[in-house]
């Protein structure tokens, strides 16, 4: 169960949405929204429906319907305005005391809304505000110790200023309603630069409480979401003191809120912590790898980055932190030169393990440019582990009802590297064939099998060129239920020459299709950043059609949520699952 889930029964799924995640994907090839991520995660969530929305930068409680009855009931309750909602916001501007109400009509103007008098054209909006964090007199408003986010590479923040915490109850449900009304009253939300708020690491607006009638029982239910969730524990989102707002505002690592909502630390201790410009640090990337941190950028650590990395080490109680300089000349560098270098704390052993969805993998900082696992494929490895690709798309129809020992299916993992996909498939009962051009990587893969109590002797490991072996296996009439294609952007071998993903992917698909059973699943992936997803999918589809095969089912997924996609940090990973006749 993802940490964001607050409540679930046959009719409702109630969650705490993190800031920085859309309610739903704004377009087919952007990052998944919370709805998309949940709906495709579990078979029982395949029929989730959206009944209300929160802005991308707004956090807090949301409800999805799971049944037709719930969808009808909740839609009616929201339409009739019988659902009661309470929000908390922070502002660094003066707020008048007591309870006050704002009424106006909202009119859209480009990417924002403007407030107009009630007699103007537009949708009527009504919000009730109450100052709950205290209202110190002007002469008592002394600067408070609020962490600045102004070092190089970070977004601005409210620095050394006082703030107020305000409860907002929207009596209507218009887009941006609270944000517009707060700004109109002279106290724009901290971080809401669209409406005149002071720059901050996030928009400090939180859906704290939601009250509704249960669709089946009619019982009134109230759901609450914590303001701050993480290793420091939970902060109540009920009536709060100013100190609560200070804890929210000075949350030491706002970028972690999204990760903590979606990743269970008990089963996964490897994920991306900072993803470049999407997390306010252009060109800098940090990953948690069990007891260690890995920093990556195109140059040596800058002072502000070093300071932030030290804070991350402290927050995670990490044993040490390494830094890797990203370079395009990695093939010319010796392993010792390309390997990450220790910059903080103690050195890692030559080999250490991490957990991902309950599966263990061996990593190493001493083997060159790559440490042994590509974290951006975590959700795809989980699909193999669960036997579930997406809503209405089982990996193998009917197999999830069978005991693992009775599942007789075979999977071909090309460009297997250290066999991460193979390990997850084997855990789910598959017999795997792992193919890679590096014998050293395949030996590493065998150790990953052993780490998870899997007998590598029951699986095949083939050392050699992918195109050469695809031809050999086709001649032997080998067939697989699943074929995985995850080639590097560029590679070169004596047998097949140069491979460039954006030029040769169709040729790779054509070579793999003779090995795929009718009705089997083909997984195609590329991290070629400047190759548009539409062109990638077209190349794959064209190759399938050219082989006189037909696509029965398709599920496209981008990189996982801990690799957030933004205009400043566009998507690079493209993956698609295809059932092919």
Q: Is the pTM of this model over 0.85?
A: yes
Using alpha carbons only, how large is the chain's radius of gyration in Å?
A: 26
Residue 181 and residue 177: Cα distance in Å, rounded?
6
For residue 331, give the DSSP letter: G
Q: Which residue has the tokens 């798309």?
A: 393
> What is the domain-level CATH number for residue 47?
3.30.2350.10
- Report the pLDDT value the prediction gives residue 334, as an integer from 0 to 100: 64
Distance (Å, whole) CA 11 – CA 14: 10
**Three-state DSSP class for 29?**
coil
Backbone φ and ψ for 359, nearest 5 degrees, come out as -100, 140
pLDDT in tens, the chain (581 residues): 899 999 999 999 999 999 999 999 988 888 899 999 999 999 999 999 999 999 999 999 999 999 999 999 999 999 999 999 999 999 989 998 889 999 999 999 988 999 998 876 778 999 999 998 643 443 344 333 333 333 333 223 334 456 788 999 999 989 999 999 999 999 999 999 999 999 988 899 999 999 999 999 999 999 999 886 543 333 333 344 445 555 666 565 667 888 999 999 999 999 999 999 999 899 999 999 999 999 999 999 999 999 999 999 999 999 999 999 998 765 556 666 788 999 999 999 999 999 999 999 999 999 887 999 999 999 999 999 999 999 999 999 876 666 666 667 999 999 999 999 999 999 999 999 999 999 999 999 999 999 999 999 999 999 999 999 999 999 999 999 999 999 999 887 777 778 888 999 999 999 999 999 999 999 999 999 999 999 999 999 999 999 999 999 999 999 999 999 999 999 999 999 999 99
**What phi and psi, each to the nearest 5 degrees, are found at residue 504?**
-115, 10
Question: 394 - beta bridge partners?
Answer: 388
Domain membership flag for residue 487: yes
> Among 249, 274, 303, where does a domain finish?
249
What's 317's domain CATH number? 3.30.750.80
Residues 203 and 79 reside in one and the same domain: yes
Q: In terms of domains, do 157 and 69 share one?
A: yes
The CA–CA distances, whole Å, from 313 to 253, 316, 320 equal 12, 5, 7
> Beta-carbon neighbour count of residue 80 at 10 Å?
8
Cα distances (Å, whole numbers) of residue 305 to 20, 238, 260, 283: 21, 36, 22, 11
Contact 491, 414 (CB under 8 A): no
Where do the DSSP E strands lie in 428-472? 431-436, 460-463
Output the pLDDT for position 398.
72
* The length of the chain, given as a count of residues: 581
Domain shared by 542 and 471, yes or no = yes
Q: Which of 425, 446, 497, 445 is nearest to 468 (CA)?
A: 497
H-helix segments, 6-67: 34-39
C-alpha dihedral, 326 to 330 to 334 to 339, nearest 10°: 30
Same domain, 327 and 398: no
My answer on whether 317 and 406 are in the same domain is no
Pick the closest to residue 573 from 524, 538, 539, 540 (CA basis): 524
Contacts of 321 (CB under 8 A, 6+ apart): 292, 293, 294, 295, 309, 310, 312, 313, 342, 343, 344, 345
Say which residue the tokens 């197999």 belong to: 399
Q: What is the DSSP letter of 498?
A: E
The domain of 444 spans 374-580
Give the pairing of strands 12-17 and 480-485. Answer: unpaired
Cα-Cα-Cα-Cα dihedral sign, residues 412, 417, 418, 420: negative
Structure tokens, 135: 């209202």
Question: What backbone torsions phi and psi does residue 100 show, to the nearest 5 degrees?
Answer: -145, 155
Q: Which pLDDT score, from 0 to 100, does residue 232 have?
A: 33
Q: How many CB atoms lie within 10 A of CB 131?
A: 19
What are the structure tokens assigned to 447, written together?
Answer: 């150790």
Contact 482, 411 (CB under 8 A): yes
Q: Are strands 431-436 and 410-414 parallel, antiparallel or unpaired?
A: parallel
> Can you give the CATH number for the domain in which 447 is found?
3.40.50.150
Same domain assignment for residues 33 and 171: yes
In a domain, 478, yes or no: yes
Pair 31, 171 in one domain = yes
Query: Is the domain of 192 the same as that of 306?
Result: no
At 69, is the secondary structure helix, strand, or coil?
helix
Question: For residue 362, is it within any domain?
Answer: no
Distance CA 554, CA 579 (A): 7
Distances (CA, A) of 430 to 87, 212, 405, 426, 581: 48, 45, 9, 5, 21
Decide if 530 is inside a domain. Answer: yes
526 phi/psi in degrees, rounded to 5: -155, 145
C-alpha–C-alpha distance, residues 212 and 84, integer Å? 7
Q: What is the pLDDT of residue 146?
A: 34
User: What's the confidence (pLDDT) of residue 1?
Assistant: 87
Question: Are 146 and 208 in the same domain?
Answer: yes
Do residues 447 and 314 both lie within one domain? Answer: no
Q: Are residues 203 and 191 in contact, defined by beta-carbon separation less than 8 angstroms?
A: yes
Q: Domain boundary residue among 224, 249, 274?
A: 249
Rounded distance between C-alpha atoms, residue 385 and residue 407, angstroms: 13
User: Of 249, 272, 297, which residue sits at a domain end?
Assistant: 249
Q: What is the distance between the alpha carbons of residues 361 and 444, in angstroms, rounded to a whole number?
A: 10
Instruction: Let me know if residue 366 belongs to a domain.
Output: no
Token code pair at residue 200: 């901050």
395 and 322 part of one domain:
no
Burial pattern 232-241, b for ≥16 Cβ within 10 A else e, equals eeebebeebe
In a domain, residue 441? The reply is yes
pLDDT at residue 154 in the model: 28
Residue 358 lies in a domain: no
Catalytic residues: 55
Q: How far apart are the C-alpha atoms of 188 and 369, rounded to whole Å?
A: 46
- pLDDT for the residue 138: 37
Q: How many domains does the chain have?
A: 3
360 is a domain residue: no
Residues 232 and 279 in one domain: no
């Amino acid at each position: 169960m993802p940490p964001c889930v607050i409540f679930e029964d046959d009719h409702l799924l109630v969650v705490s949405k993190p800031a920085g995640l859309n309610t739903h994907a704004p377009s087919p090839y952007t990052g998944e929204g919370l709805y998309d991520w949940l709906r495709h995660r579990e078979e029982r969530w395949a029929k989730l429906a959206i009944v209300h929305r929160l802005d991308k930068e707004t956090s807090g409680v949301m409800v999805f319907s799971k049944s037709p009855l719930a969808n009808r009931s909740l839609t009616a309750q929201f339409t009739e305005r019988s659902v009661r909602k309470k929000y908390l916001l922070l502002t660094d501007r003066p707020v008048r005391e007591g309870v006050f109400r704002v009424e106006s009509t909202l009119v859209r103007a480009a990417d924002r809304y403007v407030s107009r008098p009630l007699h103007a054209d537009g949708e009527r909006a009504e919000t009730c505000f109450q100052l709950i964090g205290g209202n110190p007199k002007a002469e008592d408003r002394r600067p408070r110790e609020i962490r600045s986010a102004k070092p190089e590479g970070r977004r601005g923040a409210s620095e050394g200023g006082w703030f107020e915490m305000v409860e907002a109850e929207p009596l209507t449900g218009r887009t941006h309603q609270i944000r517009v009304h707060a700004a109109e009253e002279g106290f724009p939300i901290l971080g809401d630069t669209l409406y005149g708020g002071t720059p901050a690491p996030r928009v400090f607006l939180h859906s704290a409480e939601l009250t509704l009638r249960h669709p089946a029982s009619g019982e009134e239910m109230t759901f609450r979401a914590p303001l701050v969730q993480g290793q420091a524990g939970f902060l109540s989102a009920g009536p709060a003191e100013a100190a609560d707002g200070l804890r929210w505002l000075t949350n030491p690592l706002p970028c972690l809120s999204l990760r903590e909502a979606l990743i269970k630390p008990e089963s996964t201790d490897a994920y991306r912590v900072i993803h470049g410009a999407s997390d306010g640090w252009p060109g800098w990337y940090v990953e948690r790898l069990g007891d260690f941190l890995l920093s990556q950028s195109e140059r040596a650590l800058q002072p502000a980055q070093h300071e932030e990395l030290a804070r991350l080490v402290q927050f995670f109680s990490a044993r040490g932190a390494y830094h890797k300089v990203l370079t395009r000349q990695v093939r010319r560098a010796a392993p010792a030169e390309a390997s990450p270098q220790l910059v903080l704390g103690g050195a890692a052993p030559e080999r250490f393990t991490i957990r991902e969805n309950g599966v263990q993998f061996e990593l190493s900082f001493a083997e060159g440019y790559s440490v042994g696992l590509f974290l951006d494929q975590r959700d795809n490895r989980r699909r193999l582990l669960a036997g579930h690709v997406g809503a209405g798309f089982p990996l193998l129809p009917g197999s999830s009802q069978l005991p693992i020992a009775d599942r007789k299916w075979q999977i071909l993992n090309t460009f297997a590297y250290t066999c991460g996909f193979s390990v997850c498939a084997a855990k789910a009962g598959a017999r795997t064939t792992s193919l890679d051009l590096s014998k050293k990587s395949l030996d590493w893969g065998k150790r990953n099998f052993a780490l998870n109590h899997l007998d590598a002797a029951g699986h095949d490991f083939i050392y050699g060129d992918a195109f050469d072996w695809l031809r050999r296996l086709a001649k032997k009439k080998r067939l697989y239920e699943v074929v995985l294609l995850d080639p590097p952007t560029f590679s070169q071998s004596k047998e097949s020459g140069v491979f460039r993903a954006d030029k040769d992917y169709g040729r790779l698909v054509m070579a793999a299709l003779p090995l795929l059973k009718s009705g089997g699943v083909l997984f195609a992936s590329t991290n070629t950043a400047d190759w548009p997803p539409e062109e990638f999918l077209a190349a794959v589809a064209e190759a399938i059609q050219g082989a006189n095969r037909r696509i029965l089912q398709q599920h496209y997924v981008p990189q996982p949520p801990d690799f957030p996609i933004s205009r400043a940090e566009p998507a690079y990973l493209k993956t698609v699952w295809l059932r092919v006749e």
